[in-house]
């Protein structure tokens, strides 16, 4: 394998890569990529919903309770479901757009420090948030490292 010096970046405190802004302390979503999706209108068919969910799913580790929020939109993608944007689906779409726009920075884990795991269960989903208290600017700050969620499908 060869490394191209033209494509290498050295000495940067922050770097944009693969739709994320990566720094020594945190990982964030690239606001330019997110802004482009926020400008798009309400999806008008299943293909547009699938495209939106694919984009949003890429950033799901930044969004608390992603699976529960997106559930009405995923149901809309089912093979036998007729496309209809009802109140629940519009609310889910707007909630996901808002969550993408306000997604928190995720702390880079420090393996020398303890972790905190918060878990939640509701009737339609499971959620977890992995947090850690780190010293940032000489102050202890508790922040998320990642969010995990999963839908519970009926038996």
Strand partners, 28: 21
- Residue 72 makes CB contacts below 8 A (sequence gap 6+) with 88, 89, 91, 92
Q: Where are the domains of the chain?
A: 14-151
pLDDT in tens, 4-24: 888 887 888 888 889 899 988
Average pLDDT, the chain: 91
Residue-wise burial string across 116-132, b where 16 or more C-beta atoms lie within 10 A, e elsewhere: eeeeeeeeebbbbbbbb
What mean pLDDT do residues 120-134 have? 91
> Mean pLDDT throughout 35-49?
91
58 Cβ partners below 8 Å, 6+ apart? 19
- Span 108-135, average pLDDT: 93
**pLDDT, position 52:** 94
pTM of the model: 0.84
pLDDT for position 55: 94
Which residues lie below 8 Å from residue 151, measured CB to CB, with a gap of 6+? 67, 68, 71, 74, 124, 125
């Amino acid at each position: 394998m060869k490394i191209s010096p033209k494509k290498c970046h050295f000495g940067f405190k922050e770097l944009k890569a693969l739709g994320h802004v990566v720094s020594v302390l945190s990982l964030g979503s690239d606001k330019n990529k997110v802004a482009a999706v926020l400008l798009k209108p309400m999806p008008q068919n299943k293909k547009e919903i699938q495209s939106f969910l694919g984009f949003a799913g890429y950033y799901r580790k930044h969004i608390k309770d992603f699976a529960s929020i997106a559930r009405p939109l995923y149901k809309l993608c089912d093979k036998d479901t007729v496309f209809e944007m009802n109140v629940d689906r519009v609310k889910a779409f707007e909630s996901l757009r808002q969550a993408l726009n306000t997604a928190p920075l995720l702390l880079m884990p420090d393996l020398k420090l303890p972790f905190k795991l918060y878990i939640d269960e509701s009737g339609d989903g499971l959620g977890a948030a992995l947090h850690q208290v780190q010293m940032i600017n000489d102050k202890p700050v508790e922040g998320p490292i990642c969010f995990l969620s999963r839908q519970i499908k009926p038996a």
